[in-house]
Amino acid sequence: MRAWCPRCDAVRPGQTVCPVCQTSLATLDDTGPGDQQPGLAPPDPVPAQPTPPPRLRIALAAGTLVMAGLAFVAGRSIASPSAPAAVAAPATSTTAPEPGADQRQLGWTARAGDLTVTAVEASRLATERHETVASITFRVEGVGRDERVLGLRGLALLDSGGGVFASVDQRQFGREGGAPVLAVEGQDDTYRIVTGPAPRLSSLARIKLTGVVVVRPRDQTIQLDTPGPWPPGPEMKVVNPGQRDAVVIGTSFIRQQRTQIELRVTSAFVRDGLAMVVIDASSGYRGVPGEYLPIGGELRAGDRVLCSRTSVLGEDPSAQNVQGLVLSCPTRPVPRLTVAVGVGATMLPLEATLRP
């Protein structure tokens, strides 16, 4: 037994009260020799761990809370089904479109004497009905300067297997039929045909045709006396067409029946720098759906053509009476003007196959 002072932390053998601080001493049991293995040194006492300062204790407590929160979240994540992974959008193809798919340069040419027809280019376009059609551009050279091209006769667009690449409309212009063409604005001698539904342009292999349909020559004339002086404008001087103000042309066919067309100059006006003539064609043709009759007119001063125009009667099925056309031409004052007209169409033969 040993006496120990808890206040001084000192052993006071044989005492009951600490002689230094007068504190009652505690009694401690001594370890007997039997508790220690013989031949071994007594174990070193384990040093007491220092008490962590207050801030360190707070940090350890916070870390414990964070680790507990993470463990809770991880448990929830494992317990709940995982969300499906986002599907990546398919990569946009960078492959170049097939050559000739929607636009193709052609340059295919056929000649017959002075007449030349060239297939310039082809393109595809979408319609309001969500159909894909083809547009073929042609250049027609060797036609008279004042003759309007109405269509291409015997036109067939063929693929490499000899089948039809795309269909084309057909019209009857008087006695001549053909695929109607549209003049390309701003490009002389250039015309366009729009087909039915068409595949990729690379499958177009050749183009066949048998001729070019144009307006008949303007070989019927009406003379107008236009003595001076002509007013400077803007007012215009009225010209009396006279008694011979009309011509009757009976060389056209409507529904395979011969008919006569009367063309009459109903009014004419002149001023310095301008002449205007109105030609009426309603007396001999009422307009039948599906039938088209081209009328060409031009105004001449001597041998000089001042201007020309072509009107296709019957293009508007709702019209009960076809009006004719108006010629408005720049010119200096002249004593006489000549109105030249022609009715119907004629065909310039050119039987050929256009190919690369």
- Per residue in 304-343, pLDDT tens? 999 988 888 776 555 544 568 899 999 999 999 999 998 8
Taking the CB of residue 230, how many other CB atoms lie within 10 A of it?
21
**Which pTM does this prediction carry?**
0.62
**SS3 sequence, 64-131?**
HHHHHHHHHHHHHHHHCCCCCCCCCCCCCCCCCCCCCCCEEEEEEEEEECCEEEEEEEEEEEECCCCC
What sign does the CA torsion over 220, 223, 224, 228 have?
positive
- Per residue in 128-178, pLDDT tens? 888 899 999 999 999 876 678 999 999 999 998 889 999 999 988 877 889
Q: At residue 249, does pLDDT exceed 80?
A: no
C-alpha of 137 from chain center:
18
The range of the structural domain enclosing residue 13 comes to 2-30
Model confidence band, residue 300 (pLDDT cutoffs 50, 70, 90): very high
- Say which residues have a Cβ less than 8 Å from residue 97's Cβ, sequence separation at least 6: none
The whole-chain average pLDDT of the chain stands at: 78
pLDDT of residue 16: 78
26-28 and 246-254 beta bridge pairing: unpaired
Residue that wins the pLDDT comparison between 13 and 322? 13
Same domain, 239 and 302: yes
Cα atoms in the 13 Å half-sphere on the side-chain side of 242: 10
Same domain, 185 and 208: yes
Model confidence band, residue 247 (pLDDT cutoffs 50, 70, 90): confident
CATH code: domain of residue 332 = 2.60.40
Same domain, 131 and 195: yes
Domain for residue 64, yes or no? Answer: no
- Say which residues have a Cβ less than 8 Å from residue 288's Cβ, sequence separation at least 6: 254, 255, 314
Beta-bridge partner residues of 270 = 237, 275
Residue written as token pair 């037994």: 1
Same domain, 240 and 307: yes
pLDDT of residue 35: 45
Same domain, 146 and 238: no
The Cα 17–Cα 148 span in angstroms is 142
Same domain, 119 and 232: no
- Say which residues have a Cβ less than 8 Å from residue 220's Cβ, sequence separation at least 6: 247, 249, 263, 340, 341, 342
Beta-bridge partner residues of 343 = 295
> Cα–Cα distances in Å, from 105 out to 151, 163, 201, 356?
22, 21, 10, 10
pLDDT of residue 38: 45
**Phi and psi, residue 37, nearest 5°:** -65, 135
- Per residue in 206-243, pLDDT tens? 999 999 999 888 888 999 999 989 999 789 999 999 88
Model confidence band, residue 97 (pLDDT cutoffs 50, 70, 90): very low
Residue that wins the pLDDT comparison between 349 and 68? 349
DSSP code at position 40: S
Same domain, 8 and 120: no
Domain for residue 251, yes or no? Answer: yes
pLDDT of residue 122: 95
User: Percentage of the chain surpassing pLDDT 90?
Assistant: 41
Q: At residue 55, does pLDDT exceed 70?
A: no
The tokens of 29 are what? 């049991």
